[in-house]
Every structure is written in structure tokens, then in C-alpha cells.
Amino acid sequence: MDENELSKIIVNTAFEIHSKLGPGLLESVYEEIMYFELLSKDLKVEKQKGITVSWKEIKMDIGFRADLIVENKVVVELKSVAEIAPVHSKQVLTYLKLSGCKLGLLINFNESLIKTGITRIVNNL
């Protein structure tokens, strides 16, 4: 399954969760439910995965933690904030570069319409 097929499944899952629960919950709640739902679709999902950052001869075992990485191809960064800041998209792009993934989805569940809370970020896709 390629990144585009995976993104459809992830986005549809976000829609389903948002339509049943709506906005206003903690990010950790949406993360746990997304994790559960994606696993139930027989996808390989890693939650809060530490990604190594290397700088010259320094190797930091945990440079960041990805909310979800699906099938080692798509980084999913979840938010539940009043407004997405420009730094959030840059953060996902950096996660893509460090992880080697090509597609990232930034999903803010704190929107009245979830479609306005989903941003697709690519790195050499």
C-alpha cells in the first residue's frame, strides 16, 4: 500500500472519530483512538515512536517522538488546539526528513469541521 492509499484510510478514520466525538478532547484521547482504529484496520502503527537525530558525530537516540507512524510511510501529527501555527507544519516536515518518510498528515481535531483541520505535508513524494 502506498502513501496515498494510507492517507485515505487515515483521513477517513479521522473523519469517523471527529463525527462521533467532535472537537474539545485532549490530543492524547484522539491519539489513542486513532491508534486503536488504525490497528483494527490491520495496519502497522507505532505510537510515540522516538526518532534519532544525528548531528556530526553526536547521535541523540530520541530527537523527537512521532504521535503515529503508519506502515513506516506516513507520519501523523495530532493536535487539539484552537489554531494551527505555522511552526506545526514545519515541525512535521522536519519529522519527515528525520524519519525518512515522504508523507505527513497534520490533523487538528479542535475544528468544527475536521476537513479544515487536516494538512497534508510532503517530502520528496
pTM, entire model: 0.93
Domain of residue 94, CATH code: 3.40.1350
Sheet holding 45-55, edge to edge: 45-55, 58-70, 74-79, 103-108, 118-122
What's the pLDDT at 4? 95
DSSP-assigned letter for residue 47: E
pLDDT in tens, the chain (125 residues): 999 999 999 999 999 999 999 999 999 999 999 999 999 999 999 999 888 888 888 888 776 889 999 999 999 999 999 999 999 999 999 999 989 999 999 999 999 999 999 999 999 86
How many domains is the chain partitioned into structurally?
Answer: 1
* Enclosing domain of residue 90: 3-122
Alpha-carbon torsion (106, 75, 6, 124), positive or negative: positive
